[in-house]
A and B are shown apart, each in its own frame.
Chain A
């Protein structure tokens, strides 16, 4: 096994807990704002690790750049989407959860 496969595989595996924790947050957090917080942060870190890992595994700079572009687009889209959902929820009068 070459070092690119090893490092790439480790990065992809390192990304998995972020997805699991993000999903756990989506299922267990009390209201829409905290759920957005869990999803838009954790999942994007996980996706970044997976993209970098796959890019290193592919061994081609062009593929690496395409995967990084996908990650950057996802970051921008999910940040905007999360902001829109939170704003709409606020405007509809959904109050943030307080313990």
Chain B
């Protein structure tokens, strides 16, 4: 397996660099978006090779799935544009070659040098050693929701900000009807949505003892919502009913902040849960964070603030 694995890894690394270049520099935007989606999928494979299945799940679901769908629908709304030819890319961007390429190479070199100097076993042993006090049996979940919960809080904060920014752009545009309606797509959405809910619940439950947890679960549930939207379902978030949805959108961030502050007020540090209730606290955090992430990804995909549609008699899902 040694040699085969090394050849596979080398091919994977080359393909990733090539796809990243394609995604940023391809003359054709559609090609760039497809390159980005394939880049996300291969990145997930790379995480699997690095034995980090948690990150692989999140990367495949959010990086390739949700972001890919978002980019494709953005592409659909852009005015068609003549692609830049390769010759123009090479000629017109002299600044790129003089300034940016050396700068990026220098940054990559510095990062590689820094990564080289990291202490060899890393913090894995410390995290595994403190696992008993964390309240869960899986080291990644312990790091995400206990030891380094601040990082997770800020990540969800970024998602909340993204949703706020998208909604502040204006009302959500009406979904564009497909050029040739397909009877199978609504059928697929209706049949598969329960499976999405089941898989999300399974991933959430698994997070306490194995790879899984709030981010993959939220991404899967959010993707299910996006599929329903693509299948022609009316989004059920409307301005008259904003109240509860706003609450769920912000619940993940709010509950985490609450837990952190209560821990600090109770005499511990920021995000220090009493060991006795740590496992329950993490369960509550994980469920609220998962629901918030699902709804936040869905909210971003609405491409604007939802408003009462004129055709409210259409099917609501």
Chain A residues proximal to chain B, CB less than 8 Å = 73, 76-77, 79-80, 83-84, 87-88, 90-92
CB distance from B182 to the nearest CB of A (A): 5
With a cutoff of 8 Å between Cβ atoms, the chain A residues found around residue B176 in the complex are: none
Bound-state CA distance A6–B143 (Å) is: 40
Q: Which of B24-32, B52-60, B184-192, B305-313 is the interface stretch?
A: B184-192
Chain B residues proximal to chain A, CB less than 8 Å = 178-180, 182, 184-185, 188, 191-192, 195
Known: A73-B195, A76-B192. A92 touches B179 (CB 8 A): yes
**Total of A-B residue pairs, C-beta within 8 Å:** 28
Once the chains bind, are A79 and B180 in contact (CB under 8 Å)? no
Once the chains bind, are B180 and A80 in contact (CB under 8 Å)? no
With a cutoff of 8 Å between Cβ atoms, the chain B residues found around residue A77 in the complex are: 188
With a cutoff of 8 Å between Cβ atoms, the chain B residues found around residue A90 in the complex are: 180
CB distance from B177 to the nearest CB of A (A): 11
With a cutoff of 8 Å between Cβ atoms, the chain A residues found around residue B182 in the complex are: 80, 83-84, 87
B180 interface neighbour in A73, A76, A87, Cβ under 8 Å: A87
With a cutoff of 8 Å between Cβ atoms, the chain A residues found around residue B178 in the complex are: 84, 87-88
With a cutoff of 8 Å between Cβ atoms, the chain A residues found around residue B195 in the complex are: 73
A84 to B, closest residue via Cβ: B182
Bound-state CA distance A80–B189 (Å) is: 10
CB distance from B198 to the nearest CB of A (A): 10
18 A-B contact pairs sorted by A residue (CB < 8 Å): A73-B192, A73-B195, A76-B192, A80-B182, A80-B184, A80-B185, A80-B188, A83-B182, A84-B178, A84-B185, A87-B178, A87-B179, A87-B180, A87-B182, A88-B178, A90-B180, A91-B179, A91-B180
Once the chains bind, are B192 and A88 in contact (CB under 8 Å)? no
Known: A73-B195, A76-B192. A83 touches B180 (CB 8 A): no
Once the chains bind, are B180 and A88 in contact (CB under 8 Å)? yes
With a cutoff of 8 Å between Cβ atoms, the chain A residues found around residue B180 in the complex are: 87-88, 90-91
Bound-state CA distance A92–B180 (Å) is: 9
Once the chains bind, are A88 and B179 in contact (CB under 8 Å)? yes
With a cutoff of 8 Å between Cβ atoms, the chain A residues found around residue B188 in the complex are: 76-77, 80
CB distance from A77 to the nearest CB of B (A): 8
Bound-state CA distance A39–B178 (Å) is: 23
CB distance from B4 to the nearest CB of A (A): 15
The 4 closest A-B pairs by CB, nearest first: A91-B179, A91-B180, A87-B180, A80-B188
CB distance from B310 to the nearest CB of A (A): 26
With a cutoff of 8 Å between Cβ atoms, the chain A residues found around residue B191 in the complex are: 76
With a cutoff of 8 Å between Cβ atoms, the chain B residues found around residue A84 in the complex are: 178, 182, 184-185
Bound-state CA distance A84–B184 (Å) is: 9
With a cutoff of 8 Å between Cβ atoms, the chain A residues found around residue B185 in the complex are: 80, 84
CB distance from B27 to the nearest CB of A (A): 21
With a cutoff of 8 Å between Cβ atoms, the chain A residues found around residue B192 in the complex are: 73, 76
